[in-house]
Structure 1
Amino acid sequence: MTVTSSGDDVERAYPESGRERPLITLDLAPADWTVDDIERLPHDGYRYELHEGSLVIMSPAIIWHNRVAVRLAVFFGRAGRSAATEVGIRFGDRSTRIADVAVFAEEPDENLAHVTPDALAIVVEIVSPESRERDIGSKPAKYAAAGIPEFWRVERDEEDPRDAHVFRFRLEVDGSQRYAIRSRHRLSQLEKDGLIPQV
């Protein structure tokens, strides 16, 4: 399989950058991608995940999604937790996922593009129409199977688009590698309180 990226879409979206976009061609057999391979891909505005060796290219998220991610990262920081947006998670050599927001169990190595699941205390997925199936199904299942203790799902408040509903899940204590819902909050209320609620 040959993948060519020139960054043309990004150039059209951000013409003010004025930078020349490199042309990159990769020749790899289907389902033969590794984490090392995707870490060499260009930073061209796309997001890359690796699903059991198959490359998945995702377009940039919508502005609402990005703003909510930043708000959550700021919220976690003010609550005394180390967090970041668009965190790459490595599940072995042939699988990755990108969490919209992640809270680290301890301060991470900032030079890493991907962390392992044991480095994370909380992962957050912000549900968008194009990613709903992944955000409520396959991604939390992957996170739970890897033992990440807590998962937050965030959905837009249709009555107040500036706000969002936060559904908080924790791993079942029976070792079944499944999440169970523990609480529900409004993002605006979490920001006002400034604390991660106890569950």
Structure 2
Amino acid sequence: MSVEPIATPPGPWCPDPIRQQRADYTLEDLLNLPDDAPRVELVDGVVQVTPSPTLGHQDISFLLRLWLHTHAPRDLRAAQDVGVELTVNTSRRPDVLLCRAEVPSDRSLVRPDDVVLAVEIVSPGTRRVDRFAKPGEYAAAGIPFYWRIEQDPVHLYAYRRGERLGPPRRAESGSLTSSRP
């Protein structure tokens, strides 16, 4: 009987530290990530792992997607957790989005001109980015509408892209209420 070492599989995927430091990841790299890669966004060439959402966050996301699916015009489709190409080295993954219905179903990354609405549900770890960075990024990419949903209590802030480049103007806000049977 012989003893041979058991091959240990490599650890889970993580970004190359040298490429992270150089900030030279591109959208092409995102499309070629291995199957075991975590949920990520690409920001100015740096891969950022996004935290797993909470159950409450997922409840809001699901109910909003269902509502949009039911009420949006037929030429639009509601989706969850799909990447949006903002620039050659930046992509974001809105929690919910409305995109043009003709976008092929096999896409995991869509162009900003296919997106009508991007929605972010604010979590403790994403407050600053969801409130300050993402509205301007989505507007600069040409996405006409951005909704930010705050939790506890649930509150919706709706923004519309203005004629000038820069952060979108706050259009209106309102409280969301939910009734459960």
The bucket for the TM-score relative to the shorter chain is: 0.7 to 0.9
Corresponding residue for 1:48?
40
Q: 2:144 aligns with which of 146, 149, 161?
A: 149
Q: CA RMSD in A?
A: 2.5
Q: 1:181 aligns with which of 170, 174, 179?
A: 170
Q: 2:158 aligns with which of 152, 168, 187?
A: 168
Equivalents in 2 of 1:49, 1:140: separation in Å? 15
Equivalents in 2 of 1:148, 1:48: separation in Å? 20
Q: Deviation at 1:84? A: 0.6
Corresponding residue for 1:89?
84
SS at match of 1:111: coil
Residue 37, structure 1, aligned to residue 45, structure 2: no
SS at match of 2:149: strand
Equivalents in 2 of 1:78, 1:43: separation in Å? 31
Give the aligned residue type for 1:167: Y
Give the aligned residue type for 2:156: V
Q: Deviation at 1:43? A: 4.1
TM-score, normalised by the number of residues in structure 2: 0.80
Q: Is the 8 A contact 2:98 2:117 kept in 1?
A: yes
- In the alignment, structure 2 segments of 5+ residues that lack a partner are 1-9
Residue 102, structure 1, aligned to residue 97, structure 2: yes
Query: Are residues 45 and 184 of structure 1, via their aligned partners in 2, closer, same or farther at CA, if it must alter by over 3 Å?
Result: farther
Q: Deviation at 1:28? A: 5.8
- In the alignment, structure 1 segments of 5+ residues that lack a partner are 8-22, 159-163, 192-199
Q: Is the 8 A contact 2:86 2:137 kept in 1?
A: no
Equivalents in 2 of 1:26, 1:110: separation in Å? 30
SS at match of 1:132: helix
Equivalents in 1 of 2:66, 2:146: separation in Å? 17
Equivalents in 2 of 1:25, 1:139: separation in Å? 22
Corresponding residue for 1:12?
none
Runs of 4+ in 1 over 4 A off after TM superposition: 23-28
Equivalents in 2 of 1:71, 1:146: separation in Å? 27
Aligned length: 166
- Superposed CA offset, 1:130-165 (max 9, x none): 10000001111100111111110101133xxxxx21
- Superposed CA offset, 1:55-84 (max 9, x none): 111221111111111111101011034111
TM-score, normalised by the number of residues in structure 1: 0.74
Query: Are residues 92 and 188 of structure 1, via their aligned partners in 2, closer, same or farther at CA, if it must alter by over 3 Å?
Result: same
Corresponding residue for 2:130?
135
Higher Cα Rg, which structure:
2
Q: Is the 8 A contact 2:159 2:172 kept in 1?
A: yes
- Identity fraction in percent: 29
SS at match of 1:185: strand
Equivalents in 1 of 2:70, 2:174: separation in Å? 17
